[in-house]
Amino acid sequence: MQEEVSKIGVWGMGGVGKTTIMKHIHNDLLKERIFYRVIWLTVSKEFDVVKLQDDIASALNLKKDLDKAGDKLKRAAFLSEMLKKAGKHILILDDVWDKISLEEVGIPEPTSGNGCKMVLTTRSEQVCKYIDCKVKIVKPLSEEEALILFLNKVGPNIVQSPTLMPTLRLVVKECAGLPLTIVVVAGTLKGENEPRIWKNALKELKERIGKVEGAEAEVIERLKFSFDHLKDDKVKHCFLYCAFYPEDFKIPKNELIECWIDEGFIDEMDTREEMKDKGHVIMKKLEDNCLLEKCSNHLRWTCVKMHDAVRDMALSITNVNSRCMIQAGKQSKKLLKKDEWMADVEKVSLMRNSISRILKDRSCPQHQLLKTLLLQDNPIEKIPNSFFANMPSLSVLNLSRTKIERLPNSISKLENLTTLLLDGCQALRYLPCLSKLQGLKKLNLCQTKIEEAPEGMDMLINLRYLDLYVVTLKEIPIGLLPKLSRLQHLRFDEDNENTSLKAEEVVPLEKLECFCGRFKDMHELNKFASSMQQCKSNLIKYRLQVGPSCWEHEKDKFVSINELEFCQGEFIMLPTDIQQLDISDCHGLEFLVSSSSFSYSCSHPFHSLELLHLRHLPELSELIKVERLILSATFSHLKRILIWRCMSMKTLFAHWLLPNLQNLEEIWVEDCDELVEILGTSTLVDDQDAEKGSDAFIKFNLPKLRNLELHALPELKSICSKSGAMVCDSLQVINVSSCDKLKRIPPFVSLIGNGQPYGHAPPSLKITSSTFWWESLEWDDQNFKNVLQPHWHPW
């Protein structure tokens, strides 16, 4: 962008590639760092000044400050001042449909004097002229460019087929040089090598385009070609459901698949995980056909979104062929009036609007066929008691993230309801009796303010999914959970001590696949883990906890044990497939597990463990107490171990564990007063070394170890045996501080050549230490010593 040009308008028809071009420019600007800030903002058809202000503030990390500013004018003044202080920046406004007043939003006029720039993309030349932009027209691709793009998408087997090329060129020509239609049509025909299919596709495209007038209508018809060629009707339903979300909305993949399951688009299977797998297969099909685009949201969740032209196509289908009303994200402040509802409507999406109250005169009259009602992300405060009285067929109701304090009593009569979503309703305190909702399969009460389990919940015998992640919940009635024998997903707030469970409440739930909860004490966790070992458990994901939480879970199979007093002889029994174990602030615990606590059918304790975090365990002396033969899988998947203030431990890894640590990437040990060595050796090996003299040599093979952090270990004398060397060519950092008795860094063994020992540090290795310790070190090779740089690294 030239210095004298401050505003550019990128203009072109839908599907021509405006957004794609700007994404590439956006990424290049981030790399080049010409501007202090590069801010991308999606405006969309349903433009709203407040939303755009919020998006700008979020990009500046000033959203909370903007919320305090007041009305639109004060918000605009605040933003204008902040953008002026933000330094040299560029604003990219994507998908602008109408004229925008920069002053009303709070965007200072970009000038050559302030060095700030603005670029917008639009289908309207008038928008560019109104904002006084220099217009850049994006034209369709040339025939040759279009052919290259089509061939890249359609697959190599088609490219190599000369018999198809004449027809293929004509198909490409029907795409009119628009990248969106080119990739969508190519995705539809990918892998098809039958000439008749190609000839039929050409004929179909010509007929479709011949029936409509106008460039935008032609684009929609080309995109419909791909939709109509989806062979499975349920896949079509899954695609059309995406249009229930607002334009340009980034839909989390997991949320979308859950919605498909709730709607019945995915057939019932033996497990919920199988149904999710089917959902991912459908998602992949839609992505491959370029009907959905991969993306991520501000939380870095994996998402998909619809191109606005693809969404227009989907809406044109729902308007004609299905009984749907979609008014999502339109900033509506009031619910539709009675005469505005379609009499035979089956699905309604009013999500993400500004509806705050549902008045009695707006209640829905006699909607006998309504099956889906989506009202989530509206500031609704109150719903009339009779609102749901005339919706006998209602199956899916989503009121998530609304401000309601109570559900109306008419909910109790919805006997066909299968899904009730109330997550994030942070003011909700009251639910009516649910005893008649025996068809309910999913109930989400996450982050509500209820204090008691809803009345009649024990009658929900078909419930598969129950989320009670509720900090205010005072108790779980004894005997409730075993009655819900079909549960596959169950979640509680692990920090809520009032919902601590006994094993006998959860063990009967044999279909459970995902479980997050807190047990009353170690005895109850042991009983539950024992049942998992003895019976074939269906659990795919779990978070099991005793005591308050101290760590964030990073893995799907996680156990956390905190602030307990262990009696002599008391032990820990854990699931055999555990991936992450965190224990902190426990007294009396001398070892994590004994080999005898694992069933004889599984003689590999911790064979799946990847992360091990141990903090403030004063009596812990060893990781595993060996009482019988341990096979080679123990710790075989361990990637990271963090040890802090384990005062009785003398050796971190016993000698018999060392061959198993092939996947270990990080060791961090700190404040362990009695620790003498990191990698232990057996007495037998030491005796043999003494007999053989200096010729004896032991290799400690840790091929994936990247970081070694050792801090405040006053008794530490060695990392490994004096006669040993470390094989760890991945090592990047050795960081040591306050380890006064550690006088020797072991040599490294090269994995190249014949593997003879010599002092060789991996090329990328960085070693830091406290200065006083570095000067007294003993080195096996002067070249290796030269890698060390004195550096104090405080904790």
612-641 b/e (C-beta count within 10 Å ≥ 16 → b): bbbbbbeebbbbbebeeebeeebbbbbbbb
Q: What are phi and psi of 93, to 5 degrees?
A: -100, 105
CATH T-level fold of 7-137: Rossmann fold (3.40.50)
Compute CA distances 566 → 497, 562, 605, whole Å: 19, 11, 21
Name 447's Cβ contacts closer than 8 Å, sequence gap at least 6: 423, 424, 425, 426, 469, 470, 471
| CB neighbour list of residue 194: distance below 8 Å, 6 or more residues apart | none
Residue with the two structure tokens 């991912």 = 280
**How far apart, in Å, are the Cα atoms of 761 and each of 193, 677, 695, 745?**
55, 21, 22, 11
Gyration radius from the chain CA atoms: 32
Burial of 336 (0-12, 13-18, 19+ CB in 10 A): middle
Half-sphere exposure of 544 (CA within 13 A, CB side): 30
- Alpha-carbon gap, residue 559 to 608, rounded angstroms: 13
Pick from 326, 182, 179: nearest CA to 240: 326
pLDDT at 338: 73
CATH numeric code, 325-432: 3.80.10.10
State phi, psi for 251 to the nearest 5 degrees. Answer: -95, 120
Looking at this protein, which amino acid is placed at residue 120?
Answer: L
pLDDT score recorded for residue 771 = 38
> In angstroms, how far is CA 253 from the centroid of its own chain?
9
Strand 7-11 and strand 117-122: the pairing is parallel
Six-digit token pair at 169? 């060129």
Question: What are 614's strand-pairing partners?
Answer: 583, 643
- Looking at residue 769, its pLDDT comes to 59
**CA neighbours within 13 Å on the CB side: how many for 205?**
26
Please write down the long-range contacts of 520-527, taking CB distance under 8 Å and 24 or more positions apart. 520/546, 521/546, 521/564, 522/546, 522/561, 522/564, 522/566, 522/570, 522/572, 525/559, 525/561, 525/572, 525/573, 526/571, 526/572, 526/573, 527/503
Nearest to 59 by CA among 32, 101, 89, 102: 89
Say what the pLDDT of residue 737 is: 92
Rounded distance, CA 678 to CA 637, Å? 19
Q: What is the pLDDT of residue 788?
A: 40
Cβ contact 583:589 at 8 Å: yes
Residue 694 has what pLDDT? 45
| Secondary structure (3-state) at 774 | helix
Residue 755 is predicted with a pLDDT of: 39
Q: Per-residue DSSP letters for 356-408?
A: -B--GGGSPP--TT--EEE--SS---B--TTTTTT-TT--EEE-TT---SB--
Angle at the Cα of 177 (from 172 to 182), degrees rounded to 5? 55
Please report, for the chain, the start and end positions of each structural domain, with discontinuous segments joined by +: 7-137, 143-229, 233-322, 325-432, 650-682+697-794
Note whether 642 and 617 are within 8 A (CB). no
The answer for residues whose C-beta is within 8 angstroms of residue 165's C-beta and 6 or more apart is none
Q: How many CB atoms lie within 10 A of CB 682?
A: 12
The three-class DSSP label of residue 111 is coil
- Provide the pairing of β-strand 733-737 with 698-701: unpaired
- Burial classification of residue 267, based on how many CB atoms lie within 10 Å of its CB (0-12 exposed, 13-18 middle, 19 or more buried): exposed
Contact 208, 229 (CB under 8 A): no
Q: What is the pTM of this model?
A: 0.88
Those residues with Cβ within 8 angstroms of residue 682's Cβ, 6 or more apart along the chain or in another chain: 655, 656
**143-229: what fold?**
Helicase, Ruva Protein; domain 3 (1.10.8)
Class in CATH terms, 233-322: mainly alpha
Q: How are beta strands 302-305 and 293-296 bridged, if at all?
A: antiparallel
Average pLDDT, 10 consecutive residues per value, the chain (795 residues): 81 94 93 90 89 91 89 92 90 94 92 88 93 94 95 83 91 95 94 92 94 92 95 95 96 97 96 97 95 87 94 92 89 81 90 88 70 97 92 97 96 97 98 97 98 96 98 96 97 95 96 97 94 86 92 90 88 91 95 68 76 96 75 87 96 89 96 93 49 57 93 92 77 91 71 41 60 44 40 31
From the number of C-beta atoms within 10 Å of its C-beta (0-12, 13-18, 19+), residue 391 rates as buried
DSSP structure string for 605-648: TTSS--EEEEE--TT--EEEE-SS---TTTTTT--EEEEES-TT
